[in-house]
Amino acid sequence: MTGRVRIVIAGGSFGGLSTAYELRRRLGPERAEITLIAKDERFCFVPSFPWVAMGRRSLEQISFDLAGPLGAKQVRFAQETVTAFDTERKIVVTTGAEHAYDFLVVATGHRSANEAVQGLGPFDGPGHSPMSARETTELAGAIRSLLAEPGPVVVGAAPGASCIGPVYEIAFELDHLLRQHKLRHRAPMTVLTPEPYLGHMGMGGAGKIRQLLEGALEERDIAYHTSVAVTKITEEAVEAAGFGPTPSLCSIVIPPLAGVEAVASSPGLSNPKGFVPVDDRYRHHSADGVYAVGVAVALPPAGETSVPVNFPKTGHMTEQMAEIAARDLAARIEGREGPSAELSARCVLDMGDRGVYMAVDPVRPPRDKIPTVSEGRRWLLAKQAFERAYLFHARRGRKMPTALGW
């Protein structure tokens, strides 16, 4: 392909930002005009949302304006909301303009399908969720209220959820916070999960994580139930199919995810759930010049379970997708094809007083390597250091470190 190509990236979180940096590293301004479109002006480090909820971070500490680092990389930033993708005309329609492209990267993330559980607000019901900056701020207020007036707590995930890790982090962090305030004896805690066993996390488990989580919850007097389909949240309880109501004055439930409206409603772009079907280089199955990375990608579950649990999509996995897609896009401009690779996963779970490191390669079993599971305070310190390192590099338009994962 000759001439200066037009690349549009829809989305300003992990997938969009990582793709923009990688593409600019491979394609100079004389070769590619890159535009990143995002509805929010700031990037948020989503893995730190539980810390914001616990009052250990502010949103300002874990976010930064996108315009500065993108501008430094000569990537045009458009703070607009995408309303439609016209893959026939190769145009992205937003609230402010129409953006023509030669190549498009869909990194729009997800829509939280809170409507799947009656009462899962937080703005139109008593349930809470940490899936966005606004919701996390509201949850932080609910936790402050819990500290003022302790009572029973339920932390869980709805059927079809794919983001299970925060369930465990929030449960352990909240347990630790309550103990610090000497209020734990006044706040019974229960974990309700759709997983067939603890630590399944939509990927079939990881080594000894099941046994570790079972022991950690039991030693902290946190009750747990698996294969639970949460159906309703009231002011006093969390209800589940075939399962009696669990008393709760503070209910935190991770919803299932759906594709954002602009993706779901654009003809020929997504599957019925609003996610984008791609090949092993994250190219759309049929739409010319279209890629997708991150949560927007359609990934089948790791296996059948009695209550649906969807395949996980982590920040670390999103960055791998972004690099594979960017490499292939740059190679296609030169008439070549980029390499593909199976996704691996590395993450650290905050357990309040310590952390757990997990590494699986590949994510989907069976695996050539035995998963790594390691527990200790050093991993909590490493998680805190990684947050600072990631934000330091991302603010400066640099390739972000991914050795630890998240």
CATH number at residue 157: 3.50.50.60
Q: How many domains does the chain have?
A: 2
CB-count burial class (<10 Å; 0-12, 13-18, 19+) for 95: exposed
Cα distance between residue 357 and residue 404, in whole Å: 9
Domain-ending residue, one of 255, 288, 320: 255
Query: Considering the domain boundaries, does residue 143 fall inside one?
Result: yes
Which tens digit of pLDDT belongs to each residue from 29-71? Answer: 999 999 999 999 999 999 999 999 999 999 999 999 999 999 9
Same domain, 298 and 197: no
Using alpha carbons only, what angle is made at residue 337 by residues 336 and 342, rounded to the nearest 5 degrees?
A: 165
Q: Which residues are catalytic?
A: 163, 347
pLDDT of residue 403: 52
DSSP 8-class letter at 54: T
User: Residues of the chain with pLDDT > 90: what percent?
Assistant: 94
Domain-ending residue, one of 306, 341, 376: 341
Helix (H) or strand (E) holding 246: strand 243-247
Which tens digit of pLDDT belongs to each residue from 294-353? Answer: 999 999 999 899 999 999 989 999 999 999 999 999 999 999 999 999 999 999 999 999
Query: Considering the domain boundaries, does residue 376 fall inside one?
Result: no
CA atoms within 13 A on the CB side of 33: 8
Q: The dihedral of CA 34, 294, 103, 83: what is its sign? A: negative
Number of Cβ within 10 Å of residue 305's Cβ equals 19
CA nearest to 406, candidates 385, 383, 389: 383
Structural domain span for residue 283: 5-110+259-341
Report whether 246 contacts 192 (CB < 8 A). yes
Cα distance between residue 24 and residue 322, in whole Å: 12
Flag whether pLDDT at 388 surpasses 80. Answer: yes
Same domain, 215 and 121: yes
**Phi, psi of 49, rounded to the nearest 5 degrees:** -55, -40
